[in-house]
A and B are shown apart, each in its own frame.
Chain A
Amino acid sequence: MSNDDGNSIFDELDSRLDDFFADDELSFDESSDIHSDEMIIDSSDEPKVKKSFPDTQSAKFHKNPQGPLDTLKVIVLEMDWELTDENLNKYLEEIGRLKNQYKDDRAIYLFFKLHSSIGTYMLHKKVRAHPDALKFLYQVFNSLEKVTTKNLSTFEKNKMILKEVTNFKNLKARMFPNSYSSVEVQSFVPEQPTAAVKPDFSSLPDDIQKEINDYIEREIAQKIEALKKNFK
């Protein structure tokens, strides 16, 4: 380092500091409250609004699971904190048990099928999973809770499962944009091999198939109407 360099840094520094600390153009009210503009983080501050813990964090599920989904809920909450092979396997095991328990209720059974598909996918992919996959899992769980706890008609239940099946389809399209029916899809949906873009609903009961078809027709009609409006 040459002397010139040394001088130049001194000069530069002096000039910066003189600019910064210059008194000109500054008005300073010495009597003003010096604390007024500060952002004070006072450790003694009480929270303005006291909030109760959300239901989802209640410990009651851990202590004494009672409802049919309580064990599953405990596992889902655990997964929300930390995703591990252990809790994903526990999750799939519990889904397997519930699928068996609800094999006669087609709508609820389909919910569990969605759960096991996405759970298997998460177990295989883990950190490489699509960010929306876990969101979808929680969303399906919330719908499932509604279906099992509220007194819904078969029509309403079918409507909810249909909505989630459509969401699942959309999710798969986002996860595998280039090869929708690729091996990868098959590998995590072993129980529901997809027939490319058009899902195969033939295994569903007639009334659900009818619901699905009606729903799709209504959706398409709405979309067409919306498009027409846009082009007017």
Chain B
Amino acid sequence: MDFTFDFNKSQLESIEAILEEELIELGVECVVLIDLAGNVIVNLDNGRCEHDVYSLAALAAANFGAVSAMANIIGEEEFSLLFHKGENDSIHFSKIGTDLLLLTIFGKDVSLGFLRLKVTEANNKIKELV
């Protein structure tokens, strides 16, 4: 199936408010909500982050697709924890519903355990909106 997403302005504003409250305030550097075709739906940052979010979204969507295919090969529907750890910054991926992906880029100060709780909370709130 294909993906058709149309978000109206108020939905986008609500999503931004959720991401701001749950994640930016936690101290993450950048949050990007994308669809699985690699389109950027919402991106927010702490004001000190200058990543090329469009390229990031294209690669993240492809990466997610590749990882899902790997999961299927070993008999899993999907992997629940997708996370890349860097020396200073890390990326966490979380699927929202069936067609969206939330990328969170965060530094060493943020605990992955706590971030995952926050992402789950944001995830539930966004699912109610879309």
- Contact flag (A, B; Cβ within 8 A): yes
Most buried by B among A129, A131, A134: A131
Most buried by A among B25, B81, B118: B118
A127 contacts B109, CB within 8 Å?
A: no
- Compute how far the CA of A82 lies from the CA of B117 in the bound complex, rounded to whole angstroms: 8
Which of A41, A81, A135 is the one whose CB lies under 8 Å from B112? A81
- Compute how far the CA of A199 lies from the CA of B118 in the bound complex, rounded to whole angstroms: 32
- Compute how far the CA of A127 lies from the CA of B116 in the bound complex, rounded to whole angstroms: 9
Q: Tell me the minimal C-beta distance from A131 to chain B in angstroms.
A: 5
B contact face: mostly helix, strand, loop, or mixed: helix
B38 lies within 8 A of chain A by Cβ: no
A contact face: mostly helix, strand, loop, or mixed: helix
- Compute how far the CA of A176 lies from the CA of B112 in the bound complex, rounded to whole angstroms: 24
A80 contacts B109, CB within 8 Å?
A: no
Chain A, range 123-175, C-beta contacts under 8 Å to B: 126-127, 129, 131, 134-135, 138
- CB neighbours of B59 from chain A (8 A): 41
B114 contacts A134, CB within 8 Å?
A: yes
Interface size on A, residues (CB 8 A): 15
A127 contacts B111, CB within 8 Å?
A: no
- CB neighbours of A134 from chain B (8 A): 111, 113-114
Known contacts A131-B25, A131-B26, A131-B27; is A79 also within 8 Å of B118 by CB?
A: no
Q: Tell me the minimal C-beta distance from B86 to chain A in angstroms.
A: 11
B121 lies within 8 A of chain A by Cβ: yes
Q: Tell me the minimal C-beta distance from B94 to chain A in angstroms.
A: 13
- CB neighbours of A129 from chain B (8 A): 114
- Compute how far the CA of A91 lies from the CA of B109 in the bound complex, rounded to whole angstroms: 21
List 6 other contacts, CB 8 Å, given A82-B113, A134-B114. A81-B113, A82-B116, A83-B113, A83-B117, A127-B120, A131-B114
Residues of chain A having any CB pair with chain B under 8 Å: 39, 41, 51, 79-83, 126-127, 129, 131, 134-135, 138
List the 10 shortest-distance A-B pairs measured between CB atoms, nearest first: A83-B113, A127-B117, A127-B121, A131-B26, A134-B114, A134-B111, A79-B113, A80-B113, A82-B113, A83-B117
10 A-B pairs (CB sep. < 8 Å): A39-B55, A80-B113, A81-B112, A82-B112, A82-B113, A127-B118, A131-B25, A131-B26, A131-B110, A134-B114
